[in-house]
Amino acid sequence: MNEEIKYYNFLPRLWLILAAIWFSGCISMDVPDKFDNPAEEAVTHPYGKWVYVYSEEGFYQGELMAVEENKVVVREKNESLVHIDSQNVGKMKVRVVNTRAGRGVGISLLGTISTISHGFIFVISAPAWIISSIFIDTRNRNRGYEIWERGGDSSEALTAMRKHARFPAGLPEEKSEQRD
């Protein structure tokens, strides 16, 4: 009985810890629906991926048009093309695919509620559901993004991100001449 009381006293703290894990682990981007496609649609999508570019010149977001040796080109929401000097890019975040991670949340919730029927085993099974759900959901959510960061863990060059661009072979000549 005493054990049970201790457990219920611990619950509020547990929720706080779990909430902190949940929110701290998540990558998020505000991506227009047109660029937020699940895997089966993303593979045939003709556009570049939606990107956040953090550079010394400023923050830009839009469709990734090209990643060349000396510049990153982004088409912003207002359709203007922005050419960013590669040397100034500190970080790029790309929305690769919508993993539909949210679909797991409902199941997690149902699973957690179902532990009420487990009697005292609830003490073990409910936290097991919650903790595992948080880790799995966060991980799945994050897998929908790819991040390049200067000096980061990856040794890849910035140009490795060109595969997410509309023009991975480089901007066609006509567009190269357009500068906003």
Partner 1 sequence: MMGISTRGHLSAFLLMFLIAACQLTETSLHEPEVIEDIDPEQAVLKAHMPDGGMYIFEEQWSIETTGENGDTTIVSGEAEKYDEERELIEESQVELDVGDVALFETNKVVSNPAVAAKTIITVASLGVTAYCAANPKACFGSCPTFYVPEEDTTRLRAEGFSHSFLPSLESRDVDMLYHFQPHDRELDITMKNEALETHVVRHVDLLAVPSPENGRIFKDQENRFWEVSHRTPPVECQSPGKECLAKLQEYNDREWYGSAGRESLDEQEEIVLSFEPDFDANAILIAGRHTLLTTYLFYQSLSYLGEDAGQWLARLESGDNLMQHTEVTRLAGLKVQIKTEDGWEEVDSITEYGPLAADIHLVHLPEINSDDAVQIKLQAAKGVWRLNHAALARTGQKREPESIPPHRAEPVAGGFDDALHSLLDPEKHLVTLPGEDYTLSYRLPEAYEEYDYFLDNKGYYIEWMRREWTEETEPEKFIELILDSSTVFERLARDFGEVEDEMEDIFWNSRYERRD
Token pair of 108 as six digits? 């997690």
Give start and end residues of each alpha helix (H) in 39-171: 39-42, 103-114, 122-142
23-62 positions binding partner 1, by CB under 8 A: 38-40, 42-44, 46-47
> Which of 61, 115 has the CB closer to partner 1?
115
In whole angstroms, what is the distance from residue 166 CA to residue 156 CA? 20
- 133 binds partner 1 per the rule CB under 8 A: yes
In whole angstroms, what is the distance from residue 110 CA to residue 107 CA? 5
Do the Cβ atoms of 122 and 130 come closer than 8 Å?
no
- 22 binds partner 1 per the rule CB under 8 A: no
> Which of 12, 153 has the CB closer to partner 1?
153
Binding piece for partner 1, criterion CB under 8 A, among 2-10, 17-25, 83-91, 160-168: 160-168
Q: How many CA atoms lie within 13 A of 34 on its CB side?
A: 6
Of 139, 157, 178, 180, the one binding partner 1 (CB under 8 A) is: 139
Site map 71..110 versus partner 1, x via CB under 8 A? -------------------------xx-xxx-xxx-xx--
